[in-house]
Amino acid sequence: MSAFDAQPPSESSAAVPRSGNRADLRIDDAARQEVSRLLGRHLADGRLDMLEYEDRLERTMAARKQSDLAGILDDLPALDADGRPAVVEPPVDPSAARRRAAAKSMIVGWLTLALFFTMIWAVTDFGGYFWPVWPIMGTGLGVIPGAYAVWNGTKEPDEDDGSWF
């Protein structure tokens, strides 16, 4: 038996301290194949041109350690199980939802008032002068810009009930 034949690890070799750095761990062919598969997908989707793809593929195939793979996929989006870029939903801002609800309630209140005036006109003087245009326009000149400002966050709705009424 020569010195180069594989021997089972002895108890003394298990006690040898190892580096805790995962970047120093050696990688196998499966890891290189997975990175090259992902690179191929990004090439097919148009995120990489042929020169970038060839450069990254060459670095992938030459990689021996985890640290050698660093930076190869960093600027590309992660792919889901179907090979599409994983979509990360932005966090929902509760104050934005509150502002939108307040702006909607302002518009709904104004439209309700406009409908009320139009119904009075239809019952009392249908076909005559459309007088509801003046109260609808007058209230709309205040409500619509206010609702727009609340919706965009330049103004905050009242704290107690979430509306401006």
Instruction: Tell me the two tokens of residue 73.
Output: 């996929």
Instruction: Tell me the two tokens of residue 46.
Output: 């148009």
pLDDT score of 61: 92
- Domain positions in the chain are 21-88, 94-152
Distance CA 43, CA 53 (A): 7
pLDDT score of 13: 42
Helices 50-62 & 29-44 angle (0-180, nearest 10): 170
pLDDT score of 161: 47
Block means of pLDDT (10 residues each) for the chain, length 165 residues? Answer: 45 46 80 90 89 92 87 83 69 78 91 94 88 93 89 71 48
Q: How many helices (H) and strands (E) does the chain have?
A: 5, 0
pLDDT score of 128: 86
Instruction: Tell me the two tokens of residue 80.
Output: 């889901």
pLDDT score of 1: 44
Q: Answer whether 63's CB lies under 8 Å from 71's CB.
A: no
How many Cβ atoms from other residues are within 10 Å of residue 66's Cβ? 15
pLDDT score of 156: 72
